[in-house]
Amino acid sequence: MQIKLNNPLDMHLHLRDGEMLETVGPLSADSFSGAIIMPNLLPPITDKASLLGYKQRINSAIGDRDFTLYMTLFFKPDYSRDFLLSIRDELTAIKLYPAGITTNSEGGLSGFDIDELRPILTTMSELNIPLCIHGETNGFVMDRESEFVPVYEKLAKNFPDLTIIMEHITTKASVDALDKYDNLYATITLHHLLITLDDVAGGMLQPHLFCKPIAKRYEDRDALQKVALEAHPKVMFGSDSAPHPQDSKECPGCAAGVFTAPIALQALAELFDKNDKLNNLQAFVNTNACRIYNIIPTEKTITLEKKPFVVPDKYGTVVPMFAGQELSWSIV
């Protein structure tokens, strides 16, 4: 049994830089037609020169593979209209991080005062630049995303022409918010579709499943699966694949991030197949994203076959999700 995916997209991807980029960049480019590239490097991507330089380094790492880079800026409230116009042709979205909430986000936003944000968000609305948000507060770790939902709703209400992407949603509360405002959308990761906090810390601690936002409850995972498997028109796949070296994961102060890029399509096919929803996988990994972002990706067909695939123990220095385990689908 085989299925063909046309132009599969990863709408939330961390490629890092330097040696790590050289390892993980080709892996995404082998499986996907393109990806939204996260800007939280050190230092973050905040100007045209750093954006173009990073894009050049990614293209060098992936070589001649067909893979469209959808570049983003790290959100700063003082970006001018002239600056955004000067970079618009190279820019797909702007990514907002609350300060200190996740990897390399120390320079993020400290508050969500509507009047202070109005100039930049109005300009983004007028220039059709989507706003991607890592939506968490600094509250109790299991409540951080749910506590952030009112912020999403406030932004959606005050800026109805702004496309707002709730990134890597993990809760039923975020799923419920999807249909409240026309301009709210969401990405969902592979790992949040499959695991709960029990998988991370219910027995022996599993560092390679530790991420931010942290996996939640069974009812949250069920809500995510429902909208993903039905290919709800406002959700799309974003891996949030976040590689860290093995020694940064298997240590005190474990880094947050799950590495899924090279096994994501195989695992998604397994999930959708088990639920008799394979016909909806194309919309989840392509059609919805193309409509939401108004993009036309690189032409690429990925063929998946229902044939066992043993996930490698490591890719370079990075341990993937399901390392050493067998998945029921393979990329041909």
Q: Identify the burial level of 119 via C-beta atoms within 10 angstroms of its C-beta, where 0-12 means exposed, 13-18 middle and 19 or more buried.
A: middle
Task: Say which CATH number the domain at 264 has.
Answer: 3.20.20.140
Q: Which of 287, 271, 238 is nearest to 5 (CA)?
A: 287
**CA angle (248, 249, 254) in 5-degree steps:** 90
Tally of domains in the chain:
1
240 noted as active-site residue: yes
Per-residue pLDDT of 182-235, as tens digits, reads 999 999 999 999 999 999 999 999 999 999 999 999 999 999 999 999 999 999
What pLDDT score was predicted for residue 302? 98
Pairwise CA distance, residues 178 & 327, whole Å: 31
Q: Residue 215: its pLDDT value, please?
A: 98
Residue given tokens 């039905």 in the structure block = 230
Residue 287 is classified by DSSP as I
pLDDT means over runs of 10, the chain (332 residues):
97 98 98 97 96 98 97 97 97 95 85 94 98 96 97 97 98 97 98 98 96 97 98 98 98 96 98 98 98 94 98 98 98 96
* Residue 91 · residue 47 · CB < 8 Å: no
Alpha-carbon Rg of the chain, whole angstroms?
Answer: 19
Residue span of the structural domain in which 283 resides: 2-331
From residue 146, alpha-carbon distances to 101, 171, 176, 212, 226 in Å are: 15, 7, 11, 14, 18
Could you give the count of Cα atoms lying within 13 Å of 195 in the half-sphere of its Cβ? 22
Q: Are 279 and 285 in contact (CB under 8 A)?
A: no
Q: Which of 7, 81, 1 is nearest to 265 (CA)?
A: 7
What pTM was estimated for this model as a whole? 0.97
Place of tokens 């067998």: 326
| Concatenated DSSP letters of 210-246 | --SSPP--HHHHHHHHHHHHTT-TTEEE---B----H
Catalytic residue among 17, 240, 273, 313: 240
Contact 223, 172 (CB under 8 A): yes
